[in-house]
Amino acid sequence: MENRPLEYDYTVTKMFMLTTIILGIVGMLIGVVLAFQMAYPELNLVLGEGLAEYTNFSRLRPLHTDAVIFGFTLSGIFSTWYYVGQRVLKVSMAESGFLMFIGKLHFWLYLVGVAAVVVSLFLGITTSKEYAEFEWPIDIAIVVVWVLFGISIFGLIGIRREKSLYISIWYYIATFLGIAMLYLFNNMEIPTILGESAAGESGIGAWYHSVSMYAGTNDAMVQWWYGHNAVAFGFTVPIVAMIYYFLPKESGQAIYSYKLSLLSFWGLMFVYLWAGGHHLLYSTVPDWVQTMGSIFSVILILPSWGSAINMLLTMKGEWQQVAASPLIKFMILASTFYMFSTLEGPIQAIKSVNAIAHFTDWIVGHVHDGTLGWVGFMIMAALFHMAPRVFKREIYSKSLMATQFWIQTLGIVLYFTSMWIAGITQGMMWRAHDEFGNLAYSFIDTVTILHPYYTIRGVGGLLYLVGFLMFSYNIYKTMSARPVEESELQSASPMGA
Amino acid sequence: MFHWLEKHPFFFAVGVFLTVAFAGLVTILPNFAQSSRPVIGTAPYSTLELAGRHVYIKNSCNACHSQLVRPFKSETDRYGHYSLSGEYAYDRPFLWGSKRTGPDLMRVGNYRTTDWHENHMKDPSGVVPGSIMPAYRWMFTNAADIDTAFAEQLTVAQFFSVPYNKPVPMRDGSTMVVKMGSSLADANVLALAEAKVIVEDMKDQDVKDAVANGKIPEIVALIAYLNSLK
């Protein structure tokens, strides 16, 4: 027994892998529909006039963002947690009936939450706050799901054999704490059924409706403190957790520098939260908050690039692996896009650049080179790495994987280049004056000119979706088509054999 | 220190939390009270306007339209005076938006009229050739939720002392009182009276009939809200 490696229990990992794929397809499909609706508005009626209310751009838009954030990404985070957590803490879920129960409950309640979100957003039940659209009953459910995630993390840490916490665990802990704090404070709201009329009536109107505890400028401050850092603790921190585990594992290389990971981690923790103000430049929030937001956004390059450089240098002397293995390709491109995105963001946060960029498609482009390139690629790479170990089968097709990589990379490039041009074009046209000091363009001029870019963006998004379907098929075939290995593959690359 | 923290998860978590929470406190708290004070001339929303605001939110109008005029010549030329913090004092939630696929709406009540909105919501590209905005025809048949709007008025009056039924100072030195119903029935009567004024400028016969029969379609509430944005 002593000399045999631990057998880990991947029940919950598998469950969340499934939702990662399904919600990924749903979210990205809606995204592609939205992209083409902007190029061809007739598509708002894609299912006919009768269903127009539910297929309309404005109803679908929050569904897209929430499906990819809270569906695809969050499932990916949970799925990798239930895999990485056991392995680096050297303890199996099977050793604790309690943690197994919590893990499964976590999954099923999460699924209930997802269903509630989908129904409510289709019906237009929303608080309007971006990535925090859910009304109070769903908020409560989300808090419960999050607490279960926390119990899983700290429960597993509590029974660990490896005393020292690996870097990935730092990031998972930070994800849990960060999101918990942000979500709670941003969703402070009062249900309107509490209002009582002079005639003594109460419980009036829709039971699920609520009103924010903050008004106007304060509401905006809290929302973007949340909104920006939901990106931090949803799209950055847990994804860094993944790459710190999966890249060394897959490449067989040790992390380049422990000191650099220390600096990056604590730097990121300290700096990120200040940067929310860059969403509110030239708004009515106090000037000093805007300036702080701008400055800290630029400082944020340091810890972000710290992690990314640490990853790239981990490959030192082993660069031939990038050519040989599609899985390494995914991870190296992911960290490259992370560097790219974390340089682009600070540039947009500089006040004079922001004056042009804000409210335009350049911001949309920035979000997507981060999410498609960094988050999407890293989560897919993680699933590709986990699948052979979890299902005890080799990856179905390596060539399908390589093709997928190039199709999706092309998709991302089309996406962000078209959005750069669209955003800067529109930003410049809005502010253009003629020789007499009058506005040079009416607003509609700045819309119609974007048509070709919207079309290119739609094609880019479609390519990414096609790649994602190839990924789903590859994982599906891995699960079902190949014979089962006798025991878990201990160190073999999924590319081997 | 870091090595020690990595072996003590509790203290590690506390350390992370303090590092993370610090910035929020420092940036959000200092100006909190000041930022929520209304400027003179800003009044709370009437029941019908608030119901219209809910229609605006229900259909994510804020996904494509901002309500924030930045202090640049190009923006004040296009949309009017730049935004002031106090103008948002009664906005729960704020609706600044983060993307201008369509134009800003902060002061749309100054330069668009009821009949313009009516035609535009039915067929946007018929009014603005080249527009990519979808039509919102269901708003002409769906009923506005006056009850929930009233419940929200009661809630904000109770919890945040929003001045309903109280004089609010206006820019010309006068005062104005925004009425809130004393009961649900009363609130519906008030909203209907407001709706009747709006439909006088509308053409759609079904909408006019609905209001004459005591029902308020979403479009009427939405237009009341858009007209209030000044």
Structure confidence at residue A1 (pLDDT): 46
- Could you tell me the sign of the dihedral formed by the alpha carbons of B203, B206, B207, B213, in that order? positive
A197-246 pLDDT, tens digit each:
999 998 999 999 999 999 999 999 999 999 998 888 989 999 999 999 99
Output the average pLDDT for chain B.
95
CB within 8 Å of chain B, chain A residues 267-306: 269-270, 272-274, 276-277, 279, 282-286, 289, 292-293, 296
Q: What single-letter DSSP state applies at residue B217?
A: B
Residue A455 in contact with partner chain B when CB distance is under 8 A: no
Residue A485: pLDDT band with limits 50, 70, 90: low
Kindly state the tokens that stand for A32: 């592609």
What are the chain B neighbours of A219 within 8 Å (beta carbons)? Answer: 88, 91-94
Contacts of A157 in chain B (CB under 8 A): 9
- Cα B219 from Cα B120, distance rounded (Å): 11
What is the rounded distance in angstroms from the CA atom of residue A449 to the CA atom of residue A422? 8
Paired with B143 in beta bridges are B217
Distance CA A82, CA A14 (A): 9
Residue B126 three-state SS: helix
What is the Cα–Cα distance from A357 to A350, expressed in whole angstroms? 10
* pLDDT given for residue B31 in this prediction: 86
DSSP A231-252: HIIIIIHHHHHHHHHHHHHHHT
Does this complex have an ipTM over 0.90? yes
pLDDT at A492: 52
Beta strands A189-191; A210-212: pairing state: antiparallel
In the predicted model, is pLDDT for residue A5 greater than 90? no
Helices A287-299 + B9-28 axis angle, to 10: 140
Q: Under 8 Å CB-to-CB from B221, ≥6 apart: which residues?
A: B48, B49, B51, B52, B54, B55, B144, B146, B149, B191, B195
Of B62, B88, B130, the CB nearest to A447: B130
Which pLDDT does position A493 carry in this prediction? 52
Residue B30: which residues within 8 A CB-CB, separation 6 or more? A286
Look at residue A395 and tell me whether its pLDDT is greater than 80.
yes
pLDDT tens profile A166-179: 999 999 999 999 99
Q: Environment class of residue A65 by beta-carbon count within 10 Å: exposed (0-12), middle (13-18) or buried (19+)? A: buried
pLDDT averaged over every residue in chain A: 93
CATH homologous superfamily of A11-191+214-480:
Cytochrome c oxidase-like, subunit I domain (1.20.210.10)
Q: Is B95 on the interface with A (CB under 8 A)?
A: yes
The pLDDT assigned to A496 comes to 40
pLDDT(A483) > 70? no
- Residue B13 and residue A264: Cα distance in Å, rounded? 17
Looking only at the bridges linking them, the beta strands covering B167-169 and B175-177 are: antiparallel
Domain B47-228 has CATH 1.10.760.10: yes
A494 has a pLDDT exceeding 60: no
**pLDDT, average across residues A70-81:** 97
Question: Which residue, among A88, A89, A185, A359, would best test binding to B if mutated, counting the most B CBs under 10 Å from its CB?
Answer: A359
CB distance A64 to A30 below 8 Å: yes
Q: Where are the domains of chain A?
A: 11-191+214-480
Say if CB A39 and CB A458 are below 8 A apart: yes
**Cβ contact, residue pair B59, A58, below 8 Å:** yes
- Express each pLDDT in A31-56 by its tens digit: 999 999 999 999 999 898 889 999 99
Q: Enumerate the residues of chain A whose CB falls inside 8 A of the CB of residue B87.
A: 216, 284
Bridge partner residues of B217 (DSSP): B143
- Tell me the pLDDT tens digit for each residue of B47-76: 999 999 999 999 999 999 999 999 999 999
Are B151 and A195 within 8 A, CB to CB? yes
With both helix axes pointing from N to C terminus, report the angle between A216-231 and B9-28 in degrees, rounded to the nearest 10: 140
> Does residue A352 belong to the interface with chain B, where contact is any CB pair within 8 Å?
no
Residues in chain B: 230
Does A41 touch chain B if contact means CB atoms closer than 8 Å?
yes
pLDDT digits (tens, 9 = 90+) for A112-160: 999 999 999 999 999 999 999 999 999 999 999 999 999 999 999 999 9
CA distances from A432 to A297, A443, B129 (A): 28, 11, 21
Query: If contacts are CB pairs under 8 Å, which of residues 243-262 in chain A contact chain B?
Result: 262
Distance CA(B37)–CA(B89), nearest Å, equals: 6
Q: Which residue of A has its CA nearest to B50?
A: A211
CB-CB under 8 Å, B70 with A282? yes
**Backbone dihedral region of B60: left (phi > 0), alpha (psi from -120 to 50 degrees) or beta?**
left
How far apart are alpha carbons A46 and A43 in whole angstroms?
5
